[in-house]
Chain A
Amino acid sequence: MSIKDKIAVIGIAQTKFGENFDMSYEDMAVEAAFGAMEDAGVGPDDIQAVWLSTFDPSITGGMGRAGSTIVDVLSLRDRPVSRVTNYCSSGTDAFRNACFAVASGEYDVVLVLGCEKMRDVGSRESLVKGAAEGGHPVWGKGMTAPGMFAMRATRYFHKYGIGRETLAKVAVKNHYHGSLNPYAHFRKEITVDKVLKAPLIAYPLGLFDCTPTTDGAAAAVITRAENAKSFTDEYVLVKGLGLSVGVGDRVFFDPNDPVLNFQSTKEAAKQAYEMAEIKDPRKEIDLAEVHDCFTITEILNYEDLGFAEEGEGWKLIEEGKTYKDGEIPVNPSGGLKSLGHPIGATGVRMIVEVANHLLGRAGDRQVKDAKIGLAHNLGGPGSVATVVILGQP
């Protein structure tokens, strides 16, 4: 039994993404959550359950460590709240769990909130510190987030003969899209030359190949499709959901791993496409918000999501086909690269962005005639992938 078309997203909101030094975790959570409730035309008392996505509470003094953060910041007392963490895929996984809960009939109106406050500390103090200090005492020590994806870039370069110039074009595209998005962390266009001359972070990835360290929150209110119209005329339906996990910390020890594409994305996409009855994603998907934590990741995503054959993802960016007016627009928001990546918020933000395009609310970055959109969220070294497909009713 599929839940295709059973869930409606009736309210969406996000905060400005960036170094929100003037906003706390609480400020962002309140702005996103109340924004989504207002958009849906519901109040706090209507929310029957909440799914909260925050990846790393250790850098915000514990905010988001448990469901009780929702009571602490939103004063939504005495109702079920689950905190979800599944690497960088936490946001879409929270959304997915909320969908199943609403589809079961147990709840009618549910809030999904993703919130991450990363810049109360220096960027070196957040993910880099986590990578250096966490994990096994020695196995894999030395890997950081950029390193995990740089490892795949090296192998991809070796196998398909491309170089840093091709990756740079992903950054150039996403910065262009970000320049059109008032919510984006970076709103400046860049050039290939600038990308190539920037300092290296994890060879072969340079500064502009990497997502920044960003604060932000995003929220969505969902209900069952049959109830949607009683709240609003502007809603979108969930067409497909997929989640798949693969090897995590030990992936680069795994003798079976090609260190190229993400099997997790392929599996999650397969689940979501089957549910949504999508046969040819390149033709049927009108826009995709994909997890471009690093430029190489976006190219691999093209392949894993079926927009290109394996080994040919790079051609899409070389041919400019993933620009917002191209054949298959990818990351019209600016993506993680330019919009930013507050980890727990990102997945929910993708839902918000895709819904905005389907509802015709995306302003300068609007993809024309968008009827079906895809959100793809990837976590860890590529080991957790979620795919959500939304469509117009």
Chain B
Amino acid sequence: MAGIKSVGVHIPYYRYPRSDWVKVWGQEQLAGIMLGEKAVANFDEDPVTMGVTAALKACQDNPAGIEALYFASTTPPYLEKSNAALTACAVDLTEDARTADFSGTLKAGTSALITAWDCVRAGSVKNAIVVASDIRLSEPRFYMETMMGDCAAACVVGEDDVIAEIKDAVSLNTEFTDVWKRISDRFLRYDDERYSSTHGYLKYVPLVLKKLFQKTGLTPENINRIIAYAPEGATYMAMAKRSGFPQLWNTDPLLLQIGNAGVASPLIQLANYLTEAKPGEKIILVGYGNGADAILLEVTDRIENYRDRIDIKKQLEAKSTDVTYAKILYWRNSLKKNVDSPWEFQPFTSIASIDRQRKYIFALYGQRCTKCNTTYYPPKRVCPSCGERDSSEDVKLSKKGTVYSFEIDHVFPNVEAPTCMTIVDLEGGGRVLTQMTDYKPDEVKVGLEVELVFRKYHEAKGIYHYFWKARPKRF
């Protein structure tokens, strides 16, 4: 019985109210449909960091037995250089795990899931983790800009202990131009939105569902839910209505809380629905983009004991709307800056040095002295406590801790200011000095409980530099 064993999601802390976008651009004529908020990745997030956070939730920071990682995104930080391998390193998969990047279309997430399922069924990997994550940018002032939401979802696929069995899957592919981005494009491109909708989404989603029904011999009466990529409200509602079985589309597409979640859209909606799904329910998960994927799932008894581990509702609540439109543009590098802007800096870097330390930087291993038992970070040949040489062994550090001290720096030339630096004492030992993120300055206190999250520190020589930042534990 192969299927989904666990799920994890990451919804950025910041949510941007669409009503503000209406005001910023004077688009009062759209006020009636510009409802709710969109999730906005912080300045230090990208699809990889969001994916790592979701993946660590899916595997509960224990990647033992996961033999493949498939990373799906239409907006991966690197075009060449594997985002999947980078994610795998931070999630701490072993180096013999299979990794692959899925990209180029919105259905990359569901395609990665089908591939994982195939690999598990074939017996070539025991468990695979699928990560889907996007930060999609539309042209400023174009209405789709504020429809897009940033988030990531992940799931572990395996043979045993599944919460939702994957019973079957079908796919369609088609050459179709509804939304696209060339390698040289900064923003998504659209042409005839109405044609795109009627001859794209509204055509291929019904076709793939029909194909699945034909293949499985099932009818809509046998199905409890359809969970599909949701482009925006009007098209999604039109789809539900035209399908002939609108009652199956009764799942929250999360458009008002997150927005169009790109490749993560089907999986994050599934994760949300699994918090209430009953054993035995049949769900069709639909991915769309240059064709479509349809995956038939059946919820198992295990969901009863699992559902409380899905923290999506808490993440939806733990938010801040204290973000401005100008800031979002700045974070996404959409404002022109001089080459030697005072807020840009060229930090020292060395690919050799980072490569030597990658286990410690990316997977957050520290060391513990076998003589005096001190746990410390970063690694050191000579124990900082007892002075013994080469006495320490690598240990994985906890990502939970408390603030020992902090300061909030207004002169460090970060993309976002100020920069709060914290000394965090980790559960089980080890201390790290790192930046705070997703915080309000007045909530930082000595003793504050924090969790470490994988984030982008800065760019140097065109390389993204990642490390673990602290953020307030909110639930």
| Binary interface encoding of chain B residues 405-447 relative to chain A, with 1 for a CB under 8 A from any of its CBs, else 0 | 1111111111000110101010001111111000001000010
User: In whole Å, how far is B237's beta carbon from the nearest beta carbon of chain A?
Assistant: 46
| Binary interface encoding of chain A residues 234-270 relative to chain B, with 1 for a CB under 8 A from any of its CBs, else 0 | 0000000000000100101111100100000000000
Cα(A144)–Cα(B420), bound, Å? 11
| Binary interface encoding of chain A residues 127-149 relative to chain B, with 1 for a CB under 8 A from any of its CBs, else 0 | 01101111111111111101100
In the complex, the answer to whether A155 meets B404 with C-beta atoms within 8 Å is yes
Cα(A252)–Cα(B421), bound, Å? 10
B142 on the interface (CB 8 Å rule)?
Answer: no
Cα(A133)–Cα(B413), bound, Å? 10
User: In whole Å, how far is B418's beta carbon from the nearest beta carbon of chain A?
Assistant: 8
Using a CB-CB cutoff of 8 Å, which residues 99-152 of chain A contact chain B?
Answer: 124, 128-129, 131-144, 146-147, 150-152
Chain B contacts for A250, CB-based, 8 A: 378
A378 on the interface (CB 8 Å rule)?
Answer: no
In the complex, the answer to whether B430 meets A132 with C-beta atoms within 8 Å is no
User: In whole Å, how far is B86's beta carbon from the nearest beta carbon of chain A?
Assistant: 14
B375 to chain A: closest residue by CB: A255
B345 to chain A: closest residue by CB: A132
Instruction: Tell me which of B175-183, B248-256, B298-306, B347-355 binds A.
Output: B347-355
Instruction: Tell me which of B23-31, B191-199, B278-286, B458-466 binds A.
Output: B458-466
In the complex, the answer to whether A253 meets B433 with C-beta atoms within 8 Å is yes
B201 on the interface (CB 8 Å rule)?
Answer: no
Known: A137-B347, A253-B432. A203 touches B408 (CB 8 A): yes
| Binary interface encoding of chain B residues 383-421 relative to chain A, with 1 for a CB under 8 A from any of its CBs, else 0 | 011000000000000000000111111111110001101
Chain B contacts for A139, CB-based, 8 A: 361, 378, 433, 467
Chain B contacts for A136, CB-based, 8 A: 348, 353
In the complex, the answer to whether A259 meets B347 with C-beta atoms within 8 Å is no
Using a CB-CB cutoff of 8 Å, which residues 339-398 of chain B contact chain A?
Answer: 342, 345-350, 353-354, 361, 374-378, 384-385
Chain A contacts for B273, CB-based, 8 A: none
In the complex, the answer to whether A129 meets B345 with C-beta atoms within 8 Å is yes
- Contacting residue for A128 out of B374, B413, B423, CB 8 A: B413
User: In whole Å, how far is B206's beta carbon from the nearest beta carbon of chain A?
Assistant: 49
In the complex, the answer to whether B431 meets A254 with C-beta atoms within 8 Å is yes
A255 to chain B: closest residue by CB: B431
In the complex, the answer to whether A201 meets B411 with C-beta atoms within 8 Å is yes
A251 to chain B: closest residue by CB: B433
In the complex, the answer to whether A153 meets B407 with C-beta atoms within 8 Å is yes
B190 on the interface (CB 8 Å rule)?
Answer: no
Cα(A259)–Cα(B407), bound, Å? 12
Known: A154-B446, A202-B409, A259-B404. A142 touches B419 (CB 8 A): yes
In the complex, the answer to whether B407 meets A253 with C-beta atoms within 8 Å is no
- Contacting residue for A138 out of B361, B409, B413, CB 8 A: B361
A178 on the interface (CB 8 Å rule)?
Answer: no
A197 on the interface (CB 8 Å rule)?
Answer: no
In the complex, the answer to whether A199 meets B458 with C-beta atoms within 8 Å is no
- Contacting residue for A255 out of B342, B421, B425, CB 8 A: B425
In the complex, the answer to whether A254 meets B407 with C-beta atoms within 8 Å is no
In the complex, the answer to whether B465 meets A137 with C-beta atoms within 8 Å is yes
- Contacting residue for B446 out of A132, A133, A155, CB 8 A: A155
In the complex, the answer to whether B407 meets A132 with C-beta atoms within 8 Å is no
Q: How many inter-chain residue pairs (CB < 8 Å) link A and B?
A: 135
Chain B contacts for A133, CB-based, 8 A: 345-348
Chain B contacts for A200, CB-based, 8 A: 408, 410, 418
Known: A132-B345, A140-B433, A254-B431. A201 touches B405 (CB 8 A): no
Chain B contacts for A158, CB-based, 8 A: 405, 446
A313 on the interface (CB 8 Å rule)?
Answer: no
Cα(A36)–Cα(B429), bound, Å? 53
- Contacting residue for A203 out of B361, B407, B429, CB 8 A: B407
In the complex, the answer to whether A253 meets B408 with C-beta atoms within 8 Å is no
Chain B contacts for A152, CB-based, 8 A: 405
In the complex, the answer to whether A201 meets B410 with C-beta atoms within 8 Å is yes
- Contacting residue for A147 out of B347, B348, B375, B421, CB 8 A: B421
Known: A147-B407, A151-B406. A137 touches B384 (CB 8 A): no
Chain B contacts for A35, CB-based, 8 A: none
| Binary interface encoding of chain A residues 274-301 relative to chain B, with 1 for a CB under 8 A from any of its CBs, else 0 | 0000000000000000000000000000
- Contacting residue for B410 out of A135, A137, A199, A252, CB 8 A: A199
- Contacting residue for B457 out of A135, A141, A259, CB 8 A: A141
Chain A contacts for B346, CB-based, 8 A: 133
Chain B contacts for A151, CB-based, 8 A: 405-407, 421, 423
Cα(A49)–Cα(B425), bound, Å? 49
User: In whole Å, how far is B461's beta carbon from the nearest beta carbon of chain A?
Assistant: 10
User: In whole Å, how far is A350's beta carbon from the nearest beta carbon of chain B?
Assistant: 26
A340 on the interface (CB 8 Å rule)?
Answer: no
Chain B contacts for A142, CB-based, 8 A: 409, 412, 414, 419, 421, 434-435, 457
A140 to chain B: closest residue by CB: B433
Chain A contacts for B377, CB-based, 8 A: 253
In the complex, the answer to whether A132 meets B347 with C-beta atoms within 8 Å is yes
User: In whole Å, how far is B469's beta carbon from the nearest beta carbon of chain A?
Assistant: 9
Cα(A147)–Cα(B404), bound, Å? 15
Cα(A138)–Cα(B378), bound, Å? 11
Cα(A158)–Cα(B445), bound, Å? 9
B463 to chain A: closest residue by CB: A137
Chain A contacts for B410, CB-based, 8 A: 199-203
Cα(A250)–Cα(B441), bound, Å? 25
| Binary interface encoding of chain A residues 347-390 relative to chain B, with 1 for a CB under 8 A from any of its CBs, else 0 | 00000000000000000000000000000000000000000000
- Contacting residue for A150 out of B375, B409, B414, CB 8 A: B409
In the complex, the answer to whether B374 meets A252 with C-beta atoms within 8 Å is no
10 A-B pairs with the lowest CB-CB distances in the bound complex, closest first: A150-B407, A203-B408, A252-B433, A138-B467, A155-B405, A132-B345, A158-B446, A202-B409, A137-B349, A147-B409
Instruction: Show 9 A/B contacts (Cβ-Cβ < 8 Å), sorted by A.
Output: A133-B345, A136-B353, A137-B353, A151-B421, A151-B423, A155-B404, A158-B446, A201-B410, A253-B432
With A151-B407, A200-B410 known, 5 other A-B pairs at CB within 8 A are A137-B354, A138-B467, A142-B421, A203-B409, A254-B376
